Every structure is written in structure tokens, then in C-alpha cells.
Amino acid sequence: MPKQEYPLAFLAEFLGANLSGDSKAVIKSIAPLTSASSGSISFLEKTQYKDQLKTTEASAVILREADLSFLPKHINALVVADPYLSYAKISSLFNKSPNIDPGIHPTAILGKNVIVGSNVSIGAYSVIGNKVQLADGVVIGEGCAISDDVVIGENSRLYPRVVIYYGVKIGKRALVHSGAVIGADGFGMANDKGKWEKIYQLGSVEIGDDVEIGANTTIDRGALKNTIIEDGVKLDNQIQVGHNDKIGAHTAIAGCVAIAGSVTIGKHCMIGGASCFNGHIEIADQVIITGMTGVENSITQKGIYSSGIPASPHLNWRRILVRIMSLDQIAKRLQKLEKIIFKEE
């Protein structure tokens, strides 16, 4: 476990920040402005929360130059261009995840011709199939199941109870959280006179470097070609990635998103939670989809896209619903009026 306290001067150098105040102040934790105490460092992401600076008990605050004047004189500051990004960077210094010692637990089961790199850790009751390749620094948590011919790149980590089906390839520095299933069959069926005939999924899954996959997220293998997750993709919890999907590099997808099969999502996209994607569509690079959006058709231009109706008080919603249900009738009446008006003209 890394050291858990740092002089403010060290954090300033680590972030490339301008320091205002006591460089020797010792920082022991990160906390929100509203609950920070002595020894904590906090951050101000948005100026609209500047009033919280007046009452915070933090020893230091990360903020922009434009917000420095709102900070009481007795509180130290690290001045940066992007406070939230700086918070993200120093969070690595205060990470409390326990160190994992290399080694293979005696209850783990390894198949034939498994290649295990140096400093690999395989946890209790994990099962490793035949011809699996685990590169240097890989960590396999307790109770994982890894099928035949899987390749996992350097310094990747699987948390407990991850399931990896056969033939899946995972790049370097991946983080796969508990309950994730990678490489299960895609949902392929052909109808034979009212009965469903299974289409066996002959592709696999390819995952790039620096990818994070959230808890209970599922990524289906391709039908004929591979499902592809490119470098730097970040997937939240409980996401469904369908067969033959391709998610472009550095795209981030929030929880409970459902992506049907054969969808291509571009690079540097941001997908809000609980959004749904129709199958066989393409999404351009740098597209932002707000939460609970239903994406039925391809999006060819970068930008922000939304759908769905926000929650409102129940009585208001009932009135809105009545009006929505009347739209077709209103449209027909409007057409009749237009015909009368234009005829008179």
C-alpha cells in the first residue's frame, strides 16, 4: 500500500500546480469541501460551489486561478487548469487497495500448457484453462474462471469472480471488476417455423490496453467477426455490449447502458447511463449521449444528443401524457384548418 501522507509541496510538484500557502502542510486524505477536516485536501470544480470555500475545514484546496480570490487566506491552495483532473491524478496516491503478493494459491487449478509470466498472482479457487497466457504482473482474483486460449496482457487485473470465455484477448493494464463476463455467446437465433435455431457464435472478443470494465458488465463474443473494445475505453457497471460491437478508443460509457449487436461507437464518445442503442448502427467520433437516451439510428456528426422525458410530479405527468396522446388528433385538425386557410387565400 502506498504512503498515505504527503507535504503539499510534493503534491504541487506531482500535479505541476502553483502552490499558494504553506508548502510544508501535511496532507493525509482527500475529502469533499463540505466534509473535509484538517489534513485533508479538497477541490473546487465549479465556481457555483464557491460558497463552500467559506466553511470548509480542508488544509488545502485544488482550484483554478479565477477562483483563488474566493478562498479564505488561511487555507492553502494548489492552482491548476483543471481541478477535477488534478483530483483524479492524486487519488492514485491515496489508493487504499491492498498490495497483492505474487504467487499461485494452492487451491487454484491450472490447465495444460499455461504460460505464467513473472510476478503473477492467481487467487484462491480460480480455474485457468488450457493454453492460457498470463503476462508479467497479471493479477487474477479469487474464484475467477478463465477458459482455454485466453491471453491477458501485462499488469492487468481481474477482481474476484470474473469469467472469461475461450479465445478472448485482453491487453495491458486492464481492470476487470467482479462479476464481469467476457466472451459469452451473442444473442443469435434464426426462426424455424416458430422455433428458434441457435446461431453459434464463431468470433471472439478483443480488448485493448488500459481498458476498465465495471462490475457485472457483459461483453458478448462476435458471431463471425470479433467484438472489439479499443484502447482506453472505460465501461461502468452493468453494461451490455452485444456481439460484433466495436467501441472506439477512449470512449466512456456509464452504467446500465444496453448496446445491441453490430453497433460501432466512435472514439472519444461519452454515453450517459441507461441509454439504449439499436442494432446495426454507427456513432461518429466525439459524440455525447445524455442519460436515458434511446438511439435508434446512426449518428454521423459529433455533438450532444438526447431523448427521453425527465421525471416530473405525477399530476403534471398525467396532464402531459393526455396531451401527448392527443397529438395525432390535434395534427389532423390542424391539417384541416390549413386546407381551409390556404383555400381562402
How far, in Å, CA of 220 to CA of 229, rounded?
A: 11
| SS3 state at 52 | helix
- Of 3, 35, 30, which is closest to residue 86 (Cα–Cα)? 30
Please name the helix (run of DSSP H) or strand (run of DSSP E) that holds residue 333, with its range, or none: helix 327-344
Q: Is 243 a catalytic residue?
A: yes
Residue 30 pairs in a beta bridge with: 41
Please name the helix (run of DSSP H) or strand (run of DSSP E) that holds residue 170, with its range, or none: strand 169-170
Q: Positive or negative CA dihedral for 179, 180, 182, 185?
A: positive
Q: Are 117 and 135 in contact (CB under 8 A)?
A: yes
- Of 80, 96, 64, which is closest to residue 15 (Cα–Cα)? 80
- Active-site choice (243, 250, 268, 314): 243
How far, in Å, CA of 113 to CA of 182, rounded?
A: 22
How far, in Å, CA of 231 to CA of 158, rounded?
A: 17
Residue 266 pairs in a beta bridge with: none
**Active-site amino acid positions:** 243
